[in-house]
Amino acid sequence: MDNELREKVSALLEAVVAADGVIRQEERDFVRRAVTRYRLPEPDAPLSLRSLGSATEALRALDSNAQSRVLALLVDAAISDGELEPREHALLLAAAAALGIEATALEERVIHRLKGPAPS
pTM of the model: 0.82
pLDDT one-digit tens code per residue, 16-32: 888 888 889 999 999 99
- The alpha-helical segments, DSSP class H, found in 43-118 are 52-60, 64-78, 86-98, 103-115
User: Mean pLDDT, to the nearest integer, of 47-72?
Assistant: 75
**For domain 3-115, is the CATH number 1.10.3680.10?**
yes
Task: Give the Cα separation of 31 and 10 in Å (integer).
Answer: 8
| Domain ranges, ordered by start, for the chain | 3-115
pLDDT confidence band for 48 (50 / 70 / 90): low
Query: What's the mean pLDDT when you consider all of the chain?
Result: 84
Calculate the alpha carbon distances from 83 to 17, 38, 39, 97 in Å.
11, 24, 26, 21
Q: Helix (H, G, I), strand (E, B), or coil: what is residue 49? A: helix
